[in-house]
A and B are shown apart, each in its own frame.
Chain A
């Protein structure tokens, strides 16, 4: 079946370094992808999205790259800060699902001081 959000479970980085969180997906027809950040005990928060007709999109301290050839996207966080510690999910729509998003297991980002 379709899947989005095949992540490595954890990533540890030093404060100030750049973080790269990767995500794989299977449905080549996905129109867009969204990255969410979830802090412990809270609901996910929108970080950035990217449409399938784009390869790259930049936000404040974050960049998302989409490689449709290998069905892979990544979230890059520049100058990682302790407040970036959270679980990060990529999500994408199910085929014909409107706004039904499918999420993976996420990557736990740990920022070491």
Chain B
């Protein structure tokens, strides 16, 4: 089945460690996104990529890094510079920017919950 796969589902990290969250999609989508969700809050955009080898910062990029070497993959690294990394991380993808034939629907993975001990 086509979809977005995030791993791991749960991750624990000690302070000062970098961790990388995996996101893979087999939907042949050009664009991919990382959002962060805190309890009782909406989704905030960390980074997004509209094409391979290119990505842009979202609203809360500080302390995070990404790469987009392959169309299918968009890993997110949470670095030690991120002051409050405990959160639920969501990866998403979309076909293309909004056009007359499609809206900007995002397809989400099941999320990765990161806890810093």
Contacts and interface: CB of A to CB of B under 8 A. Distances in A.
Given A43-B108, A49-B103, A100 B48 contact: yes
Contact of B42 (A46, A99, A104): A104
A32 B108 contact: no
A112 interface: no
Contacts of A100: 33, 45, 48, 58
Contact of B103 (A45, A51, A89, A103): A51
Interface residues on B, range: 20 to 34
Nearest to A105: B42
Nearest to A41: B111
Contacts, number: 71
Interface string B28-51: 000101010000111111001010
Contacts of B4: 43
Nearest to B113: A41
A34 B94 CA distance: 13
A92 to B, nearest CB: 9
Contact of A44 (B6, B44, B90): B90
B105 interface: yes
B97 A105 contact: no
Interface string B94-115: 1011100001111111110100
Interface residues of A, number: 25
Given A43-B109, A99-B97, 15 more contacts: A34-B106, A42-B111, A43-B108, A44-B43, A45-B108, A89-B43, A98-B31, A99-B48, A99-B98, A100-B45, A100-B48, A103-B35, A103-B42, A103-B44, A104-B42
Interface of A: 5, 9, 31-32, 34, 41-46, 49, 51, 89, 91, 93, 98-106
B97 A98 contact: yes
Contacts of A32: 98, 103-104
A16 B104 CA distance: 32
Given A42-B110, A93-B98, A34 B41 contact: no
A5 B42 contact: yes
Contacts of B33: 99-100
